[in-house]
Amino acid sequence: MKHALKLNLALISWIAVSLSQAGIPAGKARSTLEAGNLRFVEGKALAHSWQKGTVAKTGALGQTPAVAVLTCADSRTPPELIFDMGVGDLFVCRNAGGFDTPEVNATFEYGVAALGVHTILVLGHSKCGAITATLEGKPVPGNISLLTKSLRPGIEKILQDHTDLSKEDQLNHAVEALVRYQMLELIKNSELLRKATADGKLQVIGAVYDVETGRVRFLD
Ligand SMILES: [Zn+2]
């Protein structure tokens, strides 16, 4: 029994290491992320035990993450956990609300040009506090207004077109609208990312994470 358990643990850690070492092939980013999210939701995550082999390999040889993620700083949306990814798998930028800035854009340009990123995922999430504050439009202290000012253009249309909705529905619409807006912003604000997309070397995809179920819904 003890022997079988040991074998089982060895197999699981081997699979976890292999997952990280294999990288994510171009064209399989979405299905790989979906599969990882399913493992997370079903309590079958593999990538978060001590990854001795992967840490040693990426430490010695360098990183080659295939997927970059732009998402909110919200403590409930850690991309590596919700997609069951390991060390060296994801190249991540986060800020409250998850929006493009010159620094975020430059970071993704570096990911694409120097590290081999072929997919950027813009990931929104339900119950986003930053988007809620932007929708409410009340005065905010300190530098927080920088966030709401940056988020507002992406949800302006929701405020104009959906005045009839409940606050909850308005927020849900705004979260998705912001993801679509940021997908366009990343490309609009970068000649390098535009060219990579035109050359078929980069795709930008969007998704929304549900903080209550742990499930990610990819946008068409
Ligand atoms: Zn948020």
CATH number of the domain to which 90 belongs: 3.40.1050.10
Percentage of the chain modeled with pLDDT above 70: 90
pLDDT in tens, 151-196: 999 998 888 888 888 999 999 999 999 999 999 999 999 999 999 9
> How far is the centre of ligand 1, averaged over its atoms, from the C-alpha of 70 (Å)?
11
Which ranges in 23-166 belong to alpha helices (H)?
29-41, 52-61, 79-82, 102-110, 129-136, 144-161
Residues with CB under 5 A from ligand 1 (ion): 72, 74, 128, 130
> How far is the centre of ligand 1, averaged over its atoms, from the C-alpha of 199 (Å)?
32
Average pLDDT over residues 87-106: 97
- In 3D, which of 219, 197, 193 has the Cα closest to residue 207? 219
Q: How far apart are CA 45 and CA 121, in angstroms?
A: 20
> How far is the centre of ligand 1, averaged over its atoms, from the C-alpha of 109 (Å)?
23
Provide the number of structural domains found in the chain: 1
> How far is the centre of ligand 1, averaged over its atoms, from the C-alpha of 145 (Å)?
15
The predicted pLDDT at position 199 comes to: 97
Give the CB-side neighbour count of residue 46, counting CA atoms within 13 A: 17
Radius of gyration (C-alpha) of the chain in whole angstroms: 19
Q: How far apart are CA 42 and CA 145, in angstroms?
A: 38
What is the domain extent for residue 18? Answer: 2-218
